[in-house]
Amino acid sequence: MPQMAPIGWLSLFIIFSITFVLFNMMNYYSVLPSSPKSHSLSSIKLNSMNWKW
């Protein structure tokens, strides 16, 4: 089996790297996180920490 030329390995590395980056970018940007609703923020009760010295 003949050895592959270095330019062949370089082009394969570049092609696979580009497809890897594009695949990861498509997976990252395909999911939109849900923004918190305003009524759910008002239901959170904040306990004030007043220290009694």
**pLDDT of res. 45:** 61
**pLDDT of res. 13:** 94
Phi-psi region at 19: left, alpha or beta (left = phi > 0; alpha = psi -120 to 50): alpha
In this predicted model, what pLDDT tens digit does every residue of 1-53 receive, in sequence order?
467 788 888 899 999 999 999 999 999 998 887 876 655 555 556 666 777 76
Tell me which residue of 23, 20, 1 sits closest to 12, measured CA to CA.
Answer: 20
* DSSP code for 53: -
Task: Say what the pTM is.
Answer: 0.52
User: CA-CA-CA-CA torsion for 14, 17, 23, 27, nearest 10 degrees?
Assistant: -150
